[in-house]
């Protein structure tokens, strides 16, 4: 399958400009599955709740969802990307997975980073796996990487490929995803953004780029620049993730000892 990642440079709050820039970046690049960053159409470092509210959309029906649907339908592929979702009076930092026929799922970020905790409600559903026919995929968003239970839970449900829209500001994730892939024997596609968001009070956040695809053996298959918008394309065979054998004696999932992991489920 052809996996394509978009690393964009959104302008805070300028949805239509940001969507047009992504459209131009994708151009006619062929893809089976396209992954876009977290909050790719709105930017990330919001000024206040009103701004987040104004940029939010119900799913389906809003401009970002329509954009993703049109991209998927016109190209006959699948598209994953992040948006501010409004539902039941709450705002969520969500990612959509959209196919040629429409929205397949909405994943709401479980682990909220920094000021996200001021605006968003945390996700209310466990991560799930979706079978696209050519790949079984699971969604996680940015800071979810720091909780190995998310990737492990998806691996245990049969995920071959983690779709990981991100807006990374700390330097650790690109290296840590090698471990997530090795410990679970699967692929991970981290689509990050570049640029700086500046709030009205002058506070800034800089994003780290280096979008990447990691293979089940920990190999980095492709990696984008630190500062430039970019598109990355790589052909992968998701079935590689079905072989969890480490040695003739060792299987990544069967070797687990869950009867001794109870502490992981205790609420401390
Ligand atoms: C992040 O979760 N956007 C760092």
- The number of folded domains in the chain is 1
Residue 142 beta carbon below 6 angstroms from any ligand 1 atom: yes
Domain of 38? 2-266
pLDDT above 80: residue 268: no
Percent of the chain with pLDDT over 90: 99
Q: Cite the DSSP H helix spans in the chain.
A: 15-26, 49-55, 63-75, 116-119, 148-156, 173-184
Residue 93 backbone phi and psi in degrees, to 5: -90, 100
Q: How many whole angstroms from 238 Cα to the centroid of ligand 1?
A: 26
In contact, 193 and 9? CB cutoff 8 Å: yes
| 228 closest CA partner among 214, 208, 212 | 208
Atom of ligand 1 nearest to the CA of 170: 4
Whether the predicted pLDDT of 46 surpasses 90: yes
Task: Please give the DSSP secondary-structure letter assigned to residue 57.
Answer: B
Distance 203 CA to ligand 1 centre (A): 16
Residue 203, phi then psi, degrees to nearest 5: -65, 140
Tokens, residue 31: 């893809």
Summarised one tens digit per residue, pLDDT across range 137-196 is 999 999 999 999 999 999 999 999 999 999 999 999 999 999 999 999 999 999 999 999
First to last CA, the chain: 42
Phi first, then psi, for residue 202 (nearest 5°) are 90, -10
How many Å lie between the centroid of ligand 1 and the Cα of residue 245?
Answer: 33
CATH number for the domain harbouring residue 163:
3.60.110.10
| Cβ atoms within 10 Å of 217's Cβ, excluding its own | 10
Which pLDDT score is estimated for 55?
98
Residue 267 has pLDDT above 90, yes or no: no
Q: Is 167 in the pocket of ligand 1 (CB under 6 A)?
A: yes
HSE-CB at 126 with a 13 A cutoff on CA atoms is 10
Q: Max Cα separation, the chain?
A: 59
* CA–CA gap between residue 180 and residue 266 (Å, rounded): 22
C-alpha–C-alpha distance, residues 250 and 246, integer Å = 5
Q: What pTM value is reported for the model?
A: 0.98
pLDDT in tens, 47-92: 999 999 999 999 999 999 999 999 999 999 999 999 999 999 999 9
- List, for residues 200-228, the tens digit of each pLDDT value: 999 999 999 999 999 999 999 999 999 99
Nearest CA to ligand 1 atom 4: 168
């Amino acid at each position: 399958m052809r996996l394509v990642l978009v690393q964009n440079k959104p302008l805070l709050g300028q949805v239509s400009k940001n969507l047009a820039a992504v459209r131009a970046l994708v151009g006619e690049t062929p893809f089976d599955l396209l992954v876009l960053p977290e909050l790719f159409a709105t930017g990330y470092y919001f000024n206040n709740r009103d701004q987040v509210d104004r940029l939010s959309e119900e799913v389906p029906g809003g401009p970002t969802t329509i954009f993703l649907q049109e991209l998927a339908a016109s190209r006959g592929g699948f598209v994953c990307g992040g948006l501010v979702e409004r539902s039941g009076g709450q705002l969520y930092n969500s990612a959509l997975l959209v196919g040629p026929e429409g929205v397949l799922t909405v994943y709401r970020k479980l682990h909220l980073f920094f000021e996200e905790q001021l605006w968003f409600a945390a996700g209310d559903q466990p991560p799930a796996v979706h079978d696209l026919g050519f790949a079984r995929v699971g969604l996680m968003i940015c800071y979810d990487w720091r909780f190995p239970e998310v990737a492990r839970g998806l691996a245990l449900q049969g995920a071959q490929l983690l779709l990981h829209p991100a807006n990374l500001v700390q330097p650790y994730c690109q290296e840590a995803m090698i471990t997530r892939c090795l410990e679970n024997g699967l692929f991970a596609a981290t689509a990050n953004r570049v640029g700086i968001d500046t709030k009205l009070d002058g506070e800034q956040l800089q994003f780290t780029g280096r979008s990447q695809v990691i293979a089940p053996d920990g190999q980095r298959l492709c990696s984008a620049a630190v500062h430039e918008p970019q598109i990355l394309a790589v052909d992968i065979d998701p079935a590689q993730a079905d072989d969890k054998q480490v040695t003739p004696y060792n299987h990544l999932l069967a070797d687990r000892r869950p009867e001794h992991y109870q502490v992981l489920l205790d609420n401390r």
